[in-house]
Amino acid sequence: MEIGSMDRYIKSLIKEAGHRIRNSFLTDIVVQSKADANDLVTNIDKDIEQFFISRIRKDFPGHRVFGEEGFGDTIEDLEGIVWLLDPIDGTMNFVHQKRNFAISLGVYQDGVGKLGYIYDVMNDDLYHAIHQGGAYYNDEQLNPLPETDIATSIIAMNATWAGPNRYVDHEGTIRLIRDVRGVRSYGSAALELAYLASGRVDAYISMRLSPWDIAGGMVLVKEVGGLATNFSGQDANLLEQDTFVAANSSIHQKLLTDYLRKK
Ligand code: 2AM
Ligand code: CA
Ligand code: CA
Ligand code: CA
């Protein structure tokens, strides 16, 4: 399928999934914990992932799907076409706030991000990008990211990571919090990347993200000239959980060397 028709197909699939998620608030939602008590998953996360996978398998039988809830394929490389899907990014917000969560989807061909989508379900806001074809907010083209310096930047980051943790020297993150203009925590990596791509924040930092959290957002961020790596400066990891920092190109290196890299 050519890229334009694939884009139209995916947009309609995502809108249909969003409709299902909004309707789920009329039903009983079953909440369970995964890795720890605050790592939540619901029957809706699972239903929506299965909804996507059954459609993709029917209409794109040669493609593989890497989804958070494990109904897709086991992925150890990015050869061919791979869909990286998070059916609900921000499950804690979905459960507690009934807003501020997103569907996140990236389509990669031989490791190159071709299409990226982040759908803010309750606001009906779609962010999407086509490799070398621009990034868009509700079909309005987004501008290249502005240059900032640390002192005039707003960064998105979970408050959890300001305390001692095993991923980073937290004195660095505390210094960063003091040096920037402001810090925001939205609780959905995908939405935070969409906000970066649309210039509402200047960086997004997390100590622990999985491929499906970042795959869609990375296509968007790259399309507006932003950079995304792990804390060692390597390309963001699309096969395993890793540290993650995405930012406009004027502060990305400074975030790594002055604040995030373990001394
Ligand atoms: P999720 O809601 O799909 O699990 C929360 O700050 C952000 O980090 C969300 O995007 C959340 O995705 C993601 N995340 C990744 N790993 C997580 C974990 N083990 N526990 C909670 N949130 C996690
Ligand atoms: Ca999860
Ligand atoms: Ca997620
Ligand atoms: Ca999820």
Residue range 213-225: mean pLDDT, rounded: 98
Q: 88: annotated binding-site residue?
A: yes
Q: Which DSSP category does 75 fall into?
A: -
Rounded to an integer, what distance in angstroms lies between the CA atom of residue 231 and that of residue 259? 10
Cα 125 to Cα 42: distance, rounded to the nearest angstrom: 23
Mean pLDDT across the stretch 121-126?
A: 98
What's the CATH class of domain 3-141? alpha beta
Q: How confident is the model at residue 1 (pLDDT cuts 50, 70, 90)?
A: confident
Q: Tokens 């000239």 appear where?
A: 225
Q: Which of 163, 217, 167 is nearest to 188 (CA)?
A: 217
* pLDDT-derived band at 92, boundaries 50, 70, 90: very high
Q: Could you say which DSSP state residue 198 is in?
A: T
Q: Taking residues 103-121, report their average pLDDT.
A: 98
d(CA 178, CA 201): 16
pLDDT at 203: 98
Residue range 150-260 forms a domain whose CATH class is alpha beta
Within 10 A of 50 (CB to CB), how many other CB atoms are there? 15
Helix (H) or strand (E) holding 175: helix 170-179
pLDDT for 152 equals 98
198-215 pLDDT, tens per residue?
999 999 999 999 999 999
pLDDT of residue 261: 86
Q: Is the CB of 39 under 6 A from ligand 1?
A: yes
User: Which pLDDT score, from 0 to 100, does residue 53 have?
Assistant: 98
For a mutational test of ligand 1's pocket, the pick from 21, 34, 66, 89, i.e. the residue with the most ligand atoms closer than 8 A to its C-beta, is: 89
Using a pLDDT cut of 90, give the percent of the chain over it. 95
Whether the predicted pLDDT of 262 surpasses 90: no
Please write the tens of the pLDDT for every residue from 154-199.
999 999 999 999 889 899 999 999 999 999 999 999 999 999 999 9
Q: Which two tokens stand for residue 161?
A: 């990571």
Average pLDDT over residues 44-52: 98
- Check pocket membership of 217 for ligand 1, CB cut-off 6 A: no
| Paired tokens of 3 | 């890229």
Q: Per the annotation, does 47 bind a ligand?
A: no
Length of the chain: 263
**For 58-95, what is the HEC assignment?**
HHCCCCEEEECCCCCCCCCCCCCEEEEEEEEECHHHHH
Q: Is 156 helix (H, G, I), strand (E, B) or coil?
A: strand
Q: Is 155 annotated as a binding residue?
A: no
Tell the residue nearest (CA) to atom 21 of ligand 1: 39
Q: Is the pTM of this model over 0.95?
A: yes
Q: How much is the average pLDDT of 213-227?
A: 98
User: What is this model's ipTM?
Assistant: 0.96
140 is in an annotated binding site: no
Residue 263 has pLDDT above 70, yes or no: no
Q: What is the mean pLDDT of residues 45-65?
A: 98
Of 213, 237, 241, 242, best ligand 1 pocket probe by most atoms within 8 Å of the beta carbon: 213
Tell me the CA–centroid distance for residue 245 and ligand 4, in Å. 19
| Alpha carbon nearest to ligand 1 atom 3, residue | 89
Per-chain mean pLDDT for the chain? 97
Residue identifier of the C-alpha nearest atom 18 of ligand 1: 39
Structural domain spans, the chain = 3-141, 150-260
Tell me what the mean pLDDT of segment 244-262 comes to: 96
Residue nearest to atom 14 of ligand 1 (CA): 209
213 annotated ligand-binding residue: yes
> Do the beta carbons of residue 57 and residue 73 sit within 8 Å?
no
Angle at CA of residue 165, ends 163 and 169, nearest 5°: 85
Ligand 1 pocket, mutate which of 45, 157, 188 (most atoms under 8 A from CB): 188
Alpha carbon of 205 to ligand 3 centroid (Å): 14
Instruction: Express each pLDDT in 132-141 by its tens digit.
Output: 999 999 999 9
Is the CB of residue 217 less than 8 Å from the CB of residue 236? no
